[in-house]
A = this chain, B = another copy of it.
Amino acid sequence: MEDKITLSHGSGGHKTSELIAGIFKKNLDNEYFTADDAAVMPAPEGKIAMSTDGFIVSPWKFPGGNIGKLSVCGTVNDIACMGARPLYLTCSYVIEEGFAVSDLEEIAKAMGETARKAGVKIVAGDTKVAGKGQVDGLFITTAGVGVIENEVNLSGAFAKPGDSIIVTGDVGRHGCAILLARDEYGIEADVTSDCAPLADPALAVVSKIPETHVIRDATRGGVGTVLYEICDASDVGIEIVSDDIPVDPAVRGVTGLLGLEPLYLACEGRLVIIVPSEFEDKAIEILSAYEETAGAKIIGRVTDDHKGKVVMKTSIGGMTFLPPPGKELLPRIC
């Protein structure tokens, strides 16, 4: 195969077939992976969940992952947030003419490894090539189908006053890792993206605590944006305790230097889970058993007061409103 992607690789002809066989089939293969127009699989039973996510992250590689890993985690986690077990994914690539084939292989390899780890099968794909300058490197879109195994009733609109709010690990790592990888601020720090598939811990929580009210993944906009969305959708207020919010010291350092709020930096491996307070210990115990959610912490609770607002209790006992989500902090984060 050539070293670089050419327009012929997107023609749908034999160069496309060569690319699919040499890069995609090699790394993503499974019993349903298809060369036909669509993949055919047994239908799940009961209810399904379906989601899609586009990935345009720049740079495409960062400490802790790359766009291939990210594009599997994003859709797997969206499906898991509805209490569904992810089963099948599709992936669609738009690649810039001249993109290195070796980089593409690195991306497809990460995609395959992450899919196997997440227990999901990539069944169908598509490849388009755009001319030089018509796309910045490579964009990937994944879509997925999952099956709802246990009857659940989850929504951002179901938070109730008194509920406990959990985040499943330290916040803002993905956003901070991308920011540093862009190398625009001259800051060096050892920050790795939290990017990870979270279906196993999410489904463990909903199967053992069917009373769970909300599961959301805190991607673009970070935990802060998710909390404000929940306030709106559930018509409640939220109180969080500043000292209880887990933040990696290196992330704390970088955000301190730049005057950023870690709660508004993207995560790609963190869930916000809201349960009735009597289940908070059980939830933490369940999450602690999984590597990706071992750092789960209760960060606050849902209240009847100051509806539509997120209030932060500071370490010296004061109360401040978390500023509402504003404009794009960092474009092309995922």
Contacts and interface: CB of A to CB of B under 8 A. Distances in A.
Contact of A125 (B15, B52, B136): B52
Contact of A50 (B124, B146, B325): B124
A38 B78 contact: yes
Number of copies: 2
Interface in A250-279: none
Contacts of A240: none
Contacts of A39: 49-51
Contact of A81 (B10, B15, B37, B45): B37
Contacts of A6: 328
Nearest to A214: B36
Interface string A292-334: 0000000000000000000000000000000011111101101
A169 interface: no
A19 to B, nearest CB: 13
A101 interface: no
Interface of A: 6-8, 10-15, 35-56, 58, 77-79, 81-82, 84, 88, 90-94, 123-131, 133-136, 139, 141, 143, 145-148, 154-156, 216-217, 219-221, 225, 324-329, 331-332, 334
